[in-house]
Chains A and B, each alone.
Chain A
Amino acid sequence: MNKLEYIQKSNAYLGRLVHEIKAATASGHFDINTVAEDFFVPILAELYNCSELRNQNQIKMNFPAVDLGCRSSRVSFQITSDPSSAKVAKTLKKFRTHGLDADFDHLYILVITEKQASYTSKLLQEQVKLLPIDFSVTEHIIDYQNLTSKFSDLSVNELEEIYGILEREFAKKDVHLEFRSQLEKFLEFSQSKIEVEKKTKKYIPSIFVETTSAKEQMRFFANPLFFYRKIDDSIERIDLNRLNGLLELAKVSKIEAKIDNIKNLSEPKTLVELESRLRDQRDVLCYTKDLISPFSWESGGGKRYEPDKSTEIDWEIFRSPIQSNTYGIDRQIDEVISEIDLTQAKIFLVTGMAGQGKTNFVCDLFENQFSAFEIPSIFIPARALNNYPAPNRILAFIMDNRYAPKVSKLHELLELLDSIAKENQKPFIIAIDGINEVGALDEFDAELKIFLDAVCQYDLLKVILTCRSEFFDHKFAEIFNEPFSKHLHRIQDLRSKMSKESRKRMLRAYFEHFSISLRLSKNAAKFLENDLILLRIFCEIKEGAENGYVSEIYKGDIFESYLQKKIRDFPIVQQQHVLRSLYKIAEGMLGADNYSQLSTKGFEAVEIQIIEQLIAEDVVLRRELPDSGLSSVGIENMSFTYDELRDFIIAYYVINELSDSDTEKVENLFKRLPHLPIHGGFFRYIYVLARKSEHQLILGLCENSPDFLRHYIDNLPLLSAEVQNEEDVARVLDILSTSQDAQSIRSVAWFIFRRRDEGELLNAGLLVNHINGLPEANCRKFLEVIFSSPDDFQPGAWRRRINGLLGSLLELPDNEKISLGDHALAFTLQVVGYADWDERENTFNCFSNLQSKGHAQPAIELASRALSDTIQLSISEITASRAEA
């Protein structure tokens, strides 16, 4: 370009700038002056030969009279969009009164819109006269036209420099404008990552049960300008009147807190206003807390109130209500302070064990909270960061979006996102879910620190992180030592105690999601409600199942079906490798005697690929902390997600693989089994698997184990109907008749009592028949054993338990009583004679009533075969009262 072209293009840029400033000022964006200050620094430095021109407000906040100054050339500028004489006069006065002539010999007023045609006001002329430096309204009040007229005095090189500055600044602005028009699409793309989580079943919205406390905390964190009103509501509820009334009665001076000053405040329009408002409220709350704490039960280590001699009695009379009242107010204040702190936090960290629902929590936030409030946000599944090169994986992930802004540095991006947040007056949120899933954790730890440090430098950017607790504590805990840790809020227990109703709702939601319409027995439902991973596994294998009844949950069968399903999900050529890989893990764990983790060292590429796929699903396998050191580079550690599934797979490997290839190893394994941490679980599954396959070698090893009977009793619930045989019946009856161990008798008795399915050999009928065969003394003794507990210290506790059992029966509606089945009802008739009078009479009446309606007769007939006199008496009571009726 030649000189003329440079001048024309630079003039055009400055003209455009003035137009945009006018438009911005008209829209009420008065902060445009602040933006313009920085914009003009390099241009004015060039045009006015002041190479050290600096923004004075960056040196000292609200530097008086001048915005830009160069100490070496002693030139200063005030940048303003207000061209009035009054504004110029005010600036001159400030310059004089602050003695700025000591630093500067020249003062220019740069009007960034257009200056007035003349400046003749008396006020201004007076200030010009008073100014200790030379000032001419024609020479020192300048606008963009004065700047452009100076262009012609510059050399081509200098003009090129100016043009370059203008071009770069406007290019940046244009990119921002373009990005803003694309913002919606950019954010939509980010949201589409949630859909990936749905497809991979990491997030299943329909089965998500809200973690209400964490979600509520997030509202203050992510949307303070909406939810600050809840803080106002809480402050409104803090009432010191009653406390002051009590203090007056106790002859103690009233508390003069300023709490009323932070009630009914005007609405903040911006997040900046809100921040200062909340800061004031927090100060008053802390002040109030200090004032009341001497009167609380918990003075927090501070000084406790001590009455003087003359008021000692009054204090003692009212001490308790005062302390109770103060404690309540203190807790209210603490809650409000923590809500205020949440609004100011910049990092929201969620840690927890695997399977607690961290991904579900974050995805639900995006789908139902952030989208509802239009909070600008980006979702990053951390495992996806593995596809990008370190050390800028987070930036690279965000920029890998067709609609991303054209920026190359992290700060350029953050600055842009911050400006979007300012426009919306809502924080811009970046969520990184599952940071433990990023490979090369040490490297990522450093990258994450740099990223968080950068984010915390911006007013309105916030980050959500989720991580498995053990990974966080080992790899990322250093974050707490970083300066930005003061902005961090952590939730450690995401799924704190889930209510019974929530568990029931979750079971229903799972069944609905997986289109399962099976009926579950109470036992089976309870089993699944209490084990989230098992519930997930059960639903995956039963997907679409209908019209069936599940009386019991047999874990071994469930695990086998699940593994078959998982293996079939792989391409046919890989399916055999999947099982072999799992066998190899089992073999590796047995060989190393380490069942908590195993490294991938020694695994072939195809096996590692399979392992990675299983880890990605996080149900069979999960990633563990890698070892450190050069030799461990590229080697992952893994473990089984679910200990019982691990024990099942190891047992499966031993019975199907090891026992064929190396009998000696199997025998040795059984010898050292009592000392292994997998002892209980392994024994359980190997015995069941051996029963199913009639594997004589393994069965022999199991049954010859010294503690076989204990294992057998513990694992009775795992013997499904197909496996049960007459030998089991004989073994169970033998335990009930001859065992000297009360706990064994109790376990077996209550196990068969719960088995109502007569299709199974082991069912409640065995218990009823056993009791029928006992003469009075033995019957009483037997019932005393099964209704007692080792912790009983009061005599007669066993009778109270019988009362409890009958009480729960009596509470049921008739149809549910009948649905318990003949054996369960017969059992209640066998025990009712040993209950207390109330329960006994009510149960007799209940059975008479049932009998009168044509029910319960088979149960009565079953119990009437008993040898015990007490049982016979109960039966005759019922039949007699029925006859009377």
Chain B
Amino acid sequence: MNESTLISLSLFALFAPLAGFIITLLTGKRLKTAYLIENFIISLVLLASIIALFVKLAYYVDKDIVSEITWIDLGIVPIMGKLSIELGILLDNVSLIMMFVVSLISALVHYYSIEYMRGDKRYNRYFAYLGIFTFSMMGIVLTHNILMMYIFWELVGLSSYLLIGFWYEKKSASDAGKKAFIVNRIGDLGMFAGILMIFVTYHTFTFDKIFAAIGEGILPFNSEFWLTATGILLFCGAIGKSAQFPLHVWLPDAMEGPTPVSALIHAATMVAAGVYMVTRIFVMLTGDAMLFIATIGALSAFIPATIALTQTDIKKVLAYSTVSQLGYMVMALGVGAYAFGFFHLVTHAFFKAGLFLGSGSVIHSMHHEQDIMKMGGLKKKMPITYWTFLFYSLAISGIPLTSGFLSKDGILASAMSFGSLTGYHIFAVVGFLVALLTAFYMFRLLILTFHGEPKDHHKFDHAHESPALMTVPLIVLAILSIFAFYTLNPLDAQQGWVLNKWITTPTSVVPESARYPFMVNHETHGSAEAHGQIIHSVEYTESLHHSHYPAMFLSLFVALLGIFIAYMMYEKKKMDADKIAGSMKPLYNFSLNKWYFDELYGVIAIGASLRLTEILKWFDNTIIDGIVNGSGWITKVTSAISGWFDNWVIDGAVNAVAYISGFFGIALKKTQTGKVQTYVALAVFGVMVFYFAMRLL
């Protein structure tokens, strides 16, 4: 197995889904079984990803492999010389692990959808869309430059648009698709500005070259402030794509899409792309940029968690939970916990995809009922769905022996040590608080759905366990949420192979004065960077070590507390949920109405801009076109006046001459009688007049 095989496998995994999309779309109309082509292709992609990951980890674990081609040749540019834009792929451990995650979940969702979507009138087209999504996502994962990432970034936005609005007959679905696309674009504007900043400064889009240049001390506008700004601008893209505060509003609405899509795109992969992007640009983030990122992450972890407490739509709860968990990852990266942030992305992808597929299984058997208040007692009817759902819930709550515990605990420990080193304890506090809320709302969801008595007997009677194509993916994802896949010590992820061997925190290239103090390694400066292993100072490593056990016990305690409260409230009914809600009505309403974000944006952004456009339309029609038509009118009036003048004055003068001549002509013609006597008489008269006149003078 050599490098070129690895590159070929990755390129196959990238482009095969595109071929699947095109073939399925073109043949889908006539060929009833076109979806099988897409399923076959995704299986091959999964196989290729597994082999590639294996080869990479077995033979090239410390080597990054790059393959690139020239895309746009800009020719000779003043001062900069020859300039071209490259496209290419970067195969490192992070990208290949991510490629595996994407292709696995994508494949499972494909198989699951065969049953879930059966009977849909656009069945084949659905699979075609899954194909283009997988292609776009692979592009983001594999790319070696920020521009190509942006290109595929927009393409996943498109596939997301198509899939959210898949049932476009429903207005809410097409609204949600449009909202997702536009809200994402707002974030992308920032990202685009960041990309411009990078290109103008470094004349390249390639990550490695950018980082090398920053390492040499080249900064945008020669200032650390602008390096911070560039990092934050790029992060804006992640705010949109990963549904972070304040652009998180699109994700809950995106639940209008088919549930397997929610699992694939809006839980496991696409929304994680923002987090993935931050890991890619991690080394160029300054301390200030990271603090900003951590703050956004903390807000995004906290706000949706409080909203999820009161929602009654099974998918909405999971959607807010997703935003909250993504906030966790972003916060982790912000506090410098690179490896844990990425690790949580992977573990969350599996259990959250599982949760969504599980909810899909429930919705499927309940005839598209999504209100958990109308469910209950499904445990006996749907054992596989129930037990896997329980396991996922344990994982997301962070109970030991699950993968979720490993990653969550790591993030909390990092947040704690970050607090002790920098004084910003708030992130740890938010982390534990969110852990409590998460455990509570997940078990509220679980108990209301599966335990107790059925509330809608009609639907309950028809409910049944889903067929194997739907339950097997649930089992696979549950297995992947067991700790043993990542480490042999269920209490410490850092001893496992994933964090110990595969994912190592890269060395920051930011000038030391702009880093977090703890990311500057004073003691082992030269040798550490040479090995490319350690970026944190000794104090940080020690601090992390110290916070490991406190974080573990505390997180276990809050998780169990959350589960216990949910159990007492909804299972034992020792506490009356309604009464508690009633006793803090304003808070309850605030949560139920999602902190009124949609209303706020509705008034500010949409209302105001529609108003503005109406005003501009009026301005265009009345003022600008008014000036044009006005000058036309003035010309017309002027010409009318000129016409009148011409007709009456100038032509009048001409006519007057003619008239006067005519008048005298008529008057004098009387004298032309043709009789000689008259002429003689007149002549004599004339001579006499002349004579007397002379005499008088």
Instruction: Decide if A and B are genuine partners.
Output: no
The chain B residues found within 8 Å of chain A, CB to CB, are none
The chain A residues found within 8 Å of chain B, CB to CB, are none
